[in-house]
Structure 1
Amino acid sequence: MGLNQQEVNILMVDDRPENLLALEAVLQQPHYRLVSATSGEEALKCVLKEEFAVILLDVQMPGMNGFETAKLIKARERSRHIPIIFITAIHQATEHVHHGYAVGANDYIFKPFHPDTLRLKVESFVKIHRDREILKQRTRELEEANKLLKRTSSELRRTEALARMIGETSRDTIVTYEEAGTILSVNSAVVEMFGYEPSALQGKPVSTLVEVAGLGIGKTVESTAVRLDGTSFPVDMQIGEASLEGQHIYVCSIRDITERKQIEAARTEQYHLLENLVVERTQDLFRSQERFRKIFQSSPSAIAIRSLLDCRYLDVNDYWVDVTGYSADDVRGATSDLLRLTPWGEEERLTPHQPEWQRSVRNARVSYETASGVVRQGLLSTEEIELHGEPCQLILITDITDRMMFEKEMARLERLNLIGEMGAGIAHEIRNPMTTVRGFLQMSRKNANPPSYENIELMVAELDRANAIITEFLTLAKNKTTNREATSLNNIVDAIFPLIQAEALMSDKDVKLELTDIPNLDLDEKEIRQVILNLALNGLEAMSSGGLLTIRTGRDEGDVVLEICDQGPGIPPEMLEKIGTPFVTTKETGTGLGLAVCYSVAARHGARIEVKTGETGTTFLVRFAL
């Protein structure tokens, strides 16, 4: 719809409804939209809301009259251009008309008005309004066109500058030529790429640089170019076409791809190397898998592979099948714990979902059950692996049932051997005093006189010696009860020190104490005194006159340590590994039970005895764990 056919708004203002009806009857047309207002205030509201082509305004209205309404309408920027036709019944006052024009009236109509006259005046103002709207629209279109022209000119200048900059900075040679093949221009990249100066190529055929005949427009084509010195090199070319003032212009972009060709050649060579490497790695993988399969199947341990996702058995080796009694087909795919693994000495079985079952384990002693219900012992080792992207667990069980039976038999035989050795030692040590007593008693039986006092004292001494041997032997008993309580080790050493010092003085030797602050320990004071006395006396007997015996206490790596150091000749290597064995001694008159008693007491206290020996002396260390 054109502007001349668009509907226009006409505002009619009169306080009398019959006058508004009369105006509406006169002005009724298809392209008019008549808006009525019965007061100046209502007219102002309408003007604020809508745009009007003309306003018919009654002068005489109660409240705000026509002059005041017109003055307010003209005072507003957006409505000051709207023409106002005053309608009045007052004819006589010329100053009244002047007042109307002064406040912005464009015309006057006096009542009673002629309909055609009113219609013509309104149509003239409507035409002026439409002309003004057309002028506004044309003005807006011109402004938009001007903005577009400025924007286009700016873009053109920017495009030209960008094209010039691209041509000057591009590493590609850009050649512009006519349809006949004559070069029009060339950028500065031609100097470095071809060796020509740009001015030297103008007017020459483009074939001087590269052959373009038969090449398609817009396609990138690989070709060969020729330098000024006659050498050739590979290039990528792309041709574009443009029309300028009816003349066809062609632009050819030439890119040197020598470096790319070299990279492609190196990449091809590298690809072949990698391909050969993949083949070698694949062969190595196959060989590795074959070695793993052979190791897996020929291992002397039972090996199984289970999925950590659903605890499903994936594979087992032949030894696993032999030792458990299950067939490989029954095992593969099973999710239950067929072996019923149980940690050694416990009753609760391991389940595949327990953390200690899933983490890596090394030689954990377990019991397992075969298909026939036989319980066997083994060493369990596990390791988490990945097969084809699935987390799995490698389970290895080394069966030690036969070895345990052999070890038990060896231990039994060793105990029997030890009992035999101890029996022989006891018999030897006790037979000597008993032989002495028996000899004197036989002499007394043949002789009518009673045995002399000296002989009786000798027999009693021999019997005491036999009793002492038996007493020391019984001290080795494992079931001996101890009375342990929190005691200071330093106090025990201080209490027994005078006795050790007296023994040392009798043999022209010396004893030194080096005691440090240590915590109390749960000790049986009598047994610890016996250990200290035995080790100290052994050290004194091992030294010659002038020797020094040192007794120390201290802490080392969380242990309380008792050290007894002598300056004797040391213990022979062949005797060192037999230290603590009953009736093994280097003394001429010793029984070998003293150190055995020390080891037995240390074991009952949860302690351990270490020996350091050399040519400058021997140190016994008793370590009490805190």
Structure 2
Amino acid sequence: MRAPEQPTFHAPVLLVDDNAANLLALEAVLEPLGQRLVRAMSGPEALRWLLQEEFAVILLDVQMPGVDGFETARLIRQRQRTRFTPIIFLTAHSRDEAHLVHGYAMGAADYVVKPFHPDVLRWKVEAFVGLYLEQQRLQQHESTLWERERRMLEQQGELRFRRMVDTMPQFVWELLVDGSIGYANRGWLDYAGLTPEQGRQWKDTLRCLHPEDVPALRSAWQKAQNEGRPLERECRLRRSEGDYRWFLTRTIPERDERGQLAGWVSTATDIDDARHAVETLRAASEAKDMFLTMAAHELRTPLQAARSFAHLATVRAGDTLPQGMDKALHGLHRSVNRMAKLVENLLDVGRIQRGELHLRPSMLDVSSLLREVAEHFEPLPDGQRIELDAPEGLVVPGDRERLDQVFTNLVSNALRYSPEGGRIRLAAREEAGRVHVEVVDHGLGIPGGKLEHIFERFSRAHGISYGGLGLGLSIARGIVERHGGRIWAESPGGEGSGSTFHVVLPGEPGAPAR
């Protein structure tokens, strides 16, 4: 193996003299050195050259019109870059001691008196050129050592990084700019039973992907490449044993300091167990919903029969009911109605879950609707009252029966959770083409930890103490959202602080609620 060729250095030499014949003579003397010779016919021209590049030595004539050699040398020494550049003064004066002292004070490294011996001048310049070239070689050697050390550190860092990546439970791929695989970690190779060479081949990698997932993943990857955007997909990867497991794959672009695409990093995380757990929970939830729906349907018939028999008994008995029997029948009728309401709630939850809650919309007056809701609860127990603050003319498109169900539920809750009595406020106002309804109470309030869950099925802010199945607010949310609206609650959370429920409905068909 041949050693790498050493770079060839050339030392630029600056020749400064206002006489062209003198410059020609200097070039003839120094040409055998084989270095680059640069002419300057004045001090300012020499300074311009020094702004552009670095010189091994400067041959500077002392006697020049305008800016002489001494002044030029002084300006050269003022610049940090040229402070130590060797200067050989060329002078026709004798070696007067005062003259020499002044020259050295201006920064001269040497003096040559005209007429000079060509060999002497060439030897002096050659000495400075040799020092310059040696300095360049040392700098190059130092740079080479630094570059070698940097590469070695990079290689060691990359080796440590890949060793760390090989121990990760996730699969990791490093992709080049064109999408080809540059590296696959040990976890993937062991899982798929591939060699490192096979792990860098797309054809071998794609064989481990479930055939049903290939078209969608290929299309999504092509789009991500074209747009330079991250990609996240779920897919099935085959193990070396032959079975498939579900993985979440993420691919993100890597960019250099200029923001240009430099490659891609892709990972795959095993989600098979979690996915099966979710599917099991979903199946259990669907089975539970199906059971509740079927049970509710089965309960409807006997409840209707019980309600009819109680009513029939009341009508036939007339005024001949034994003492206390009328009260018993009234209690039976009330209990049957409550049970029927619970059954209807269960059926509504099922309809909302299946997206089968059908509306019969019409243009309805919100003030009239809220007035009817308030009348549902009359007469109220002592100490409780409902105040209505809803101007006429607030019209929304909606199913009157279903919206009545929403506001009746909210007012019922407000009364139920105000055991000490107090004022329930029903207020409505127009807001930028929408109608905003508030139901405000001063009762128990909603604990802070429960506020974000109260609209979930079977959720009860105060446990079982106040009855109910915890379905009313869930149904209310489903109905409001089916109308294209929003529902939410606010409460400071302290006992006696009360709650405010907000319902926002579009004021015209298709207008979204904010």
The residue number in structure 2 matching 1:396 is: 267
The residue number in structure 1 matching 2:370 is: 497
Q: Tell me the CA shift for residue 167 of structure 1.
A: 4.4
* SS of residue in 2 equivalent to 1:598: helix
Q: Which range moves more in the overlay, 473-482 or 582-591?
A: 582-591
> Could you tell me whether the CA contact under 8 Å between 1:344 and 1:366 is conserved in 2?
no
Query: Aligned letter for 1:549?
Result: R
In structure 2, the CA distance between the partners of 1:421 and 1:592, relative to structure 1 (3 Å rule), is same
In structure 2, the CA distance between the partners of 1:607 and 1:300, relative to structure 1 (3 Å rule), is farther
Q: Tell me the CA shift for residue 598 of structure 1.
A: 1.6
> Could you tell me whether the CA contact under 8 Å between 1:433 and 1:466 is conserved in 2?
no
* SS of residue in 2 equivalent to 1:381: strand
The residue number in structure 1 matching 2:167 is: 298
> Could you tell me whether the CA contact under 8 Å between 1:168 and 1:189 is conserved in 2?
no
Q: How many residues align?
A: 399
**Alignment partners' CA distance in 1, 2:71 and 2:204:** 74
**Alignment partners' CA distance in 1, 2:350 and 2:119:** 110
> Could you tell me whether the CA contact under 8 Å between 1:550 and 1:566 is conserved in 2?
no
> Could you tell me whether the CA contact under 8 Å between 1:384 and 1:392 is conserved in 2?
yes
> Could you tell me whether the CA contact under 8 Å between 1:515 and 1:552 is conserved in 2?
yes
The residue number in structure 1 matching 2:52 is: none
**Alignment partners' CA distance in 2, 1:467 and 1:582:** 18
Query: In structure 2, which of residues 198, 215, 219 is the aligned counterpart of residue 330 of structure 1?
Result: 198
In structure 2, the CA distance between the partners of 1:320 and 1:554, relative to structure 1 (3 Å rule), is farther
1:314 aligned to 2:182?
A: yes
**Alignment partners' CA distance in 1, 2:408 and 2:206:** 58
The residue number in structure 2 matching 1:355 is: 223
The residue number in structure 2 matching 1:53 is: none
Query: In structure 1, which of residues 350, 356, 370 is the aligned counterpart of residue 238 of structure 2?
Result: 370
**Alignment partners' CA distance in 1, 2:226 and 2:334:** 68
> Could you tell me whether the CA contact under 8 Å between 1:493 and 1:529 is conserved in 2?
no
Q: Tell me the CA shift for residue 293 of structure 1.
A: 0.3
Q: Deviations over 1:142-172 (max 9, x none)?
A: xxxxxxxxxx9xxxxx999983443464426
> Could you tell me whether the CA contact under 8 Å between 1:509 and 1:540 is conserved in 2?
no
Q: Tell me the CA shift for residue 405 of structure 1.
A: 0.5
**Alignment partners' CA distance in 1, 2:404 and 2:214:** 39
Q: Tell me the CA shift for residue 177 of structure 1.
A: 5.8
Query: Aligned letter for 1:285?
Result: E
1:216 aligned to 2:120?
A: yes
Q: Tell me the CA shift for residue 591 of structure 1.
A: 5.1
Q: Deviations over 1:406-441 (max 9, x none)?
A: 22223445666788999999999x999999999xxx
**Alignment partners' CA distance in 2, 1:411 and 1:505:** 45
Trace 1:370-449 onto structure 2 (pairs within 5 A): 370=238, 376-385=245-254, 391-413=262-284
Q: Tell me the CA shift for residue 401 of structure 1.
A: 1.9
Q: Tell me the CA shift for residue 476 of structure 1.
A: 1.9
Q: Tell me the CA shift for residue 404 of structure 1.
A: 0.4
Say what the alpha-carbon RMSD is for the aligned residues. 5.8
The residue number in structure 1 matching 2:413 is: 538
In structure 2, the CA distance between the partners of 1:185 and 1:505, relative to structure 1 (3 Å rule), is farther
1:471 aligned to 2:344?
A: yes
The residue number in structure 2 matching 1:594 is: 472
Given the two structures, how large is their TM-score scaled by the length of structure 2?
0.57
Query: Aligned letter for 2:158?
Result: Q
Give unmatched runs, 5+ long, in structure 1. Answer: 1-151, 153-157, 196-205, 224-235, 238-256, 439-448
Q: Deviations over 1:478-522 (max 9, x none)?
A: 2444125475xxx4532222134444884543435478999966x
Q: Which range moves more in the overlay, 465-474 or 280-289?
A: 280-289
**Alignment partners' CA distance in 2, 1:620 and 1:419:** 31
Given the two structures, how large is their TM-score scaled by the length of structure 1?
0.48
Q: Tell me the CA shift for residue 397 of structure 1.
A: 1.6
Q: Which range moves more in the overlay, 338-347 or 567-576?
A: 338-347
* SS of residue in 2 equivalent to 1:356: helix
The residue number in structure 2 matching 1:618 is: 499
Identity of aligned residues (%): 18
In structure 2, the CA distance between the partners of 1:213 and 1:363, relative to structure 1 (3 Å rule), is closer
Q: Which range moves more in the overlay, 412-421 or 397-406?
A: 412-421
**Alignment partners' CA distance in 2, 1:340 and 1:486:** 57
**Alignment partners' CA distance in 2, 1:519 and 1:358:** 50
* SS of residue in 2 equivalent to 1:610: strand
> Could you tell me whether the CA contact under 8 Å between 2:307 and 2:336 is conserved in 1?
no
The residue number in structure 2 matching 1:5 is: none
Q: Deviations over 1:575-610 (max 9, x none)?
A: 654654448566646454432432443464566643
In structure 2, the CA distance between the partners of 1:591 and 1:292, relative to structure 1 (3 Å rule), is closer
Query: In structure 2, which of residues 429, 433, 443 is the aligned counterpart of residue 568 of structure 1?
Result: 443
Which structure has the bigger radius of gyration? 1
Q: Tell me the CA shift for residue 331 of structure 1.
A: 3.4
**Alignment partners' CA distance in 1, 2:368 and 2:160:** 70
Query: In structure 2, which of residues 420, 427, 441 is the aligned counterpart of residue 551 of structure 1?
Result: 427
Q: Tell me the CA shift for residue 400 of structure 1.
A: 1.3
The residue number in structure 1 matching 2:104 is: 193
In structure 2, the CA distance between the partners of 1:411 and 1:217, relative to structure 1 (3 Å rule), is same
In structure 2, the CA distance between the partners of 1:498 and 1:621, relative to structure 1 (3 Å rule), is closer
Q: Tell me the CA shift for residue 368 of structure 1.
A: 3.7
Trace 1:242-321 onto structure 2 (pairs within 5 A): 281-282=150-151, 284-309=153-178, 311-321=179-189
In structure 2, the CA distance between the partners of 1:303 and 1:339, relative to structure 1 (3 Å rule), is farther
* SS of residue in 2 equivalent to 1:216: helix
Query: In structure 1, which of residues 119, 144, 163 is the aligned counterpart of residue 64 of structure 2?
Result: 163
> Could you tell me whether the CA contact under 8 Å between 1:358 and 1:393 is conserved in 2?
no
In structure 2, the CA distance between the partners of 1:394 and 1:170, relative to structure 1 (3 Å rule), is closer
**Alignment partners' CA distance in 2, 1:537 and 1:473:** 18
> Could you tell me whether the CA contact under 8 Å between 1:368 and 1:375 is conserved in 2?
yes
* SS of residue in 2 equivalent to 1:568: coil
Query: Aligned letter for 1:216?
Result: V
* SS of residue in 1 equivalent to 2:263: strand
**Alignment partners' CA distance in 2, 1:162 and 1:486:** 107
Give unmatched runs, 5+ long, in structure 2. Answer: 1-20, 22-40, 43-60, 74-86, 310-319, 506-511
Trace 1:201-240 onto structure 2 (pairs within 5 A): 216-221=120-125
In structure 2, the CA distance between the partners of 1:222 and 1:322, relative to structure 1 (3 Å rule), is closer
